[in-house]
Amino acid sequence: MIVPLSRYQLAKLALRLDRRYALLLEEIRDELERSENTQCIELIGRAPADIGDQSVGDALADLNLAIIDRHVGELRDIEAARARIKDRSFGTCVACGGDIAFDRLLAYPTAKRCLPCQRQHERTHAHPGVPTL
């Protein structure tokens, strides 16, 4: 049987969410600065030497955008978890209404489902070519 979160556990998880949020914002800023620097270099006239160089440059730009997109998605998850803390639904599974284990929340603080419900969700909503946890 899983017990509800104590105030200490909730505070520890909230701090973990805040730290991750700040780290993600910093990483997004760094990625944006790097991508802006790359664009400035190209504007100055350092054009790629050939099509292969251009392809590598395009792939790196796409990768940077994918990283930023993933970080923004995680920021939204953290904001949603903070809202659940505020409305006192944090740590409660959205599927079954049971408590989410503290160990699960330590590993994945933005979890919305207990482990059994998450597994069922992944089996039900898995699509070919889409990774699952």
**What pLDDT digit, counting tens, does each position of 19-63 carry?**
999 999 999 888 888 776 555 445 444 455 556 555 555 555 666
120: pLDDT confidence band, cut at 50, 70 and 90? very high
Q: What is the CATH number of the domain that holds 95?
A: 1.20.120.910
Tell me what pLDDT residue 39 has: 53
**What pLDDT digit, counting tens, does each position of 63-107 carry?**
677 888 899 999 999 999 999 999 999 999 999 999 999 999 999
Residue 130 lies in a domain: no
Instruction: Count structural domains, the chain.
Output: 1
Tell me what pLDDT residue 45 has: 47
Amino acid at 8: Y
Range of the domain at 117: 7-125
